[in-house]
């Protein structure tokens, strides 16, 4: 990300400087002066956006905390466990790895990425206990990472919060498009992770040294009991039926989603005897912390993108790329989002904010919906790989990176398909 940040600003400086020295003397000073003003205005706009994001982020994370306290994550975990047991037949059903994986996937389904990461780290450490070749990723590890980079997402919480803060007329419109893209990309990732195991065998000399200090500690994760298989199958069928419903009647249904979610989650919490007010406040505090934590990243990326755009460098880049990808429904801005999303979550979030704030794009048009869906249907593959495998001391990752990048590619492709159908 250091290189990306520098390249954007350096390219903006170079293009603006070239325009300054080659234009007529009567217009001297305009390009570089405009570049400085772009940096200042972008920084100011980033702070304004970050402050506006605090309320919506607190709202959504407060609601999610009620759902978590009421046991909704455990309900999803019980539904997912039979499926994960069949995807990972080599993992004993009562092993701590299975419990951590179930909770990780359930958190990702609800858009709780902050909660998913600790479960993912625990799962990798527990999976390493079953690893006969320390330092080499097992088939289960590769498949688990692929699931994390293309996890089915029901509630893209952060994207909805950003769209609300920017003033979208329909912040929840991204739910059906993200669900469609992640369902397909997840299936694609599973197939490649399974198929690629034969082409990347876990053999060869490896080090038996352990680099993590927690690997030999017990994983204190309770394994939730599974529902009967027919219940999980029925839930999967219902989830699949949601796709055509949201695709066909999405414009009618989506305005109801956020109000219904507020009433439904609060009612669910009361039924489960959750102190909904206190739980909401605790979640809102997390939302405040998340908003403040990403504010410096917003300033950095919005300044870089603003300078890159106003200098004319983006136009020089967009023209040739647009000829290659525009005909496929993937404008250069969306292609940049897809690449940046795999590299950095905070930077891609800032870039998403910059695009949605652009009056020429906006949050509700085709391009705004496309970049929102791409962000919600892919993951920071390099970050996930580094954190998860680093916790287990894995040095040879086999086809994990390729599986993760192909999962991101699948999310982008299916985002283009669904957004092109609905908004193209």
- Are 101 and 366 a contacting pair, CB within 8 Å? no
14 lies in some domain: no
Of the candidates 179, 184, 101, 180, the one whose C-alpha atom is nearest the C-alpha of residue 140 is 101
Above 60 in pLDDT, residue 210? Answer: no
Would 259 be classed as within a structural domain?
A: yes
Top-confidence range, 53-57, 208-212, 220-224: 53-57
Helix (H, G, I), strand (E, B) or coil at 396: strand
Q: Does residue 364 belong to any structural domain of this protein?
A: yes
pLDDT tens by residue, 5-26 = 788 889 889 988 888 888 755 5
Q: Return the bridge partners of 136, or none.
A: 396
Closest to 15 (Cα-Cα) out of 4, 24, 7: 7
Q: Cβ distance 265 to 67 under 8 Å? A: yes
Predicted local distance difference test score (pLDDT) of residue 208 = 42
The CA-to-CA distance between both ends of the chain, in Å, stands at 32
**pLDDT value at residue 53:** 66
- The reply to whether 188 falls in a domain is yes
pLDDT of residue 251: 57
Q: Cα(209)–Cα(206) distance, rounded to whole angstroms?
A: 9
Long-range pairs of 317-321 with CB within 8 A, sequence gap ≥ 24 = none
pLDDT at 60 over 50: yes
In a domain? residue 176: yes
Please state the length of the chain: 424
pLDDT confidence of residue 102: 78
The 10s digit of each residue's pLDDT in 368-410 is 999 999 998 888 777 777 778 877 788 888 888 888 888 888 8
The answer to whether position 6 is within a domain reads no
| Residue 12 domain flag | no
State the average pLDDT over residues 234-238: 79
Domain extent, residue 221, equals 32-200+209-423
- Residue 248: pLDDT band (50, 70, 90) is low
Is 410 a domain residue? yes
pTM score of the predicted model:
0.67
Cα(123)–Cα(135) distance, integer angstroms: 16
Supply 10's token pair. Answer: 């350096």
The CA–CA distances, whole Å, from 359 to 266, 273, 367, 409 equal 36, 45, 12, 28
Q: What is the pLDDT of residues 127-139, one digit of tens each?
A: 888 888 888 889 9
Q: Across the chain, what does the average pLDDT equal?
A: 79
Which region, left, alpha or beta, applies to residue 397 given φ > 0 means left and ψ of -120 to 50 means alpha? alpha
Tokens of 124: 């990798």
Count the domains in the chain. Answer: 1
């Amino acid at each position: 990300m250091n290189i990306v940040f520098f390249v954007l600003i350096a390219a903006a400086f170079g293009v603006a400087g070239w325009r300054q020295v080659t234009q007529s003397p009567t217009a001297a000073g305009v390009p570089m002066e405009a570049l400085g003003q772009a940096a200042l205005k972008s920084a100011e706009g980033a702070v304004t956006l970050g402050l506006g994001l605090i309320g919506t982020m607190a709202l959504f994370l407060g609601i999610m905390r009620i759902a978590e306290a009421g046991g909704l994550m455990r309900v999803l975990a019980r539904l997912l466990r039979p499926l994960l047991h069949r995807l990972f037949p080599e993992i004993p059903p009562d092993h701590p790895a299975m419990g951590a994986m179930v909770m990780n996937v359930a958190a990702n389904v609800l858009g709780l990425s902050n909660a998913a990461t600790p479960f993912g780290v625990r799962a990798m450490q527990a999976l390493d206990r079953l690893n006969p070749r320390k330092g080499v990723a097992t088939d289960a590890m590769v498949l688990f990472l692929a699931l994390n980079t293309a996890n089915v997402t029901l509630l893209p919480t952060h994207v909805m919060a950003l769209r609300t803060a920017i003033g979208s007329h329909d912040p929840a419109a991204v739910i059906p498009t993200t669900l469609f893209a992640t369902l397909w990309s997840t299936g694609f990732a599973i197939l490649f992770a399974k198929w690629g195991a034969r082409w990347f065998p876990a053999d060869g000399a490896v080090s038996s040294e352990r680099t993590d200090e927690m690997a030999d500690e017990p994983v204190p994760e309770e394994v939730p009991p599974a529902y009967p298989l027919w219940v999980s199958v029925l839930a999967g069928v219902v989830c699949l039926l949601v796709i055509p419903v949201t695709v066909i009647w999405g414009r009618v249904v989506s305005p109801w989603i956020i109000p219904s979610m507020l009433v439904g989650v609060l009612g669910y919490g009361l039924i489960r005897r959750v102190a909904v007010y206190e739980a909401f406040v605790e979640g809102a505090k997390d939302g405040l912390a998340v908003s403040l934590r990403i504010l410096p990243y917003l300033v950095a990326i919005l300044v870089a993108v603003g300078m890159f755009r106003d200098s004319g460098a983006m136009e020089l880049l967009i023209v040739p790329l647009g000829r290659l990808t525009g005909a496929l429904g993937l404008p250069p801005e969306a292609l940049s989002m897809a690449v940046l999303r795999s590299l950095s979550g905070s930077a891609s979030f800032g870039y998403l904010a910059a695009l949605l704030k652009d009056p020429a794009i906006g949050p509700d048009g085709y391009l705004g919906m496309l970049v929102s869906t791409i962000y919600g249907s892919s993951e920071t593959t390099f970050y996930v790989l580094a954190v998860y495998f680093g916790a287990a001391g894995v040095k040879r990752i086999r086809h994990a990176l390729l599986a993760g990048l192909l999962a991101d590619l699948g999310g982008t492709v299916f985002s283009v398909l669904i957004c092109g159908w609905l908004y193209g």
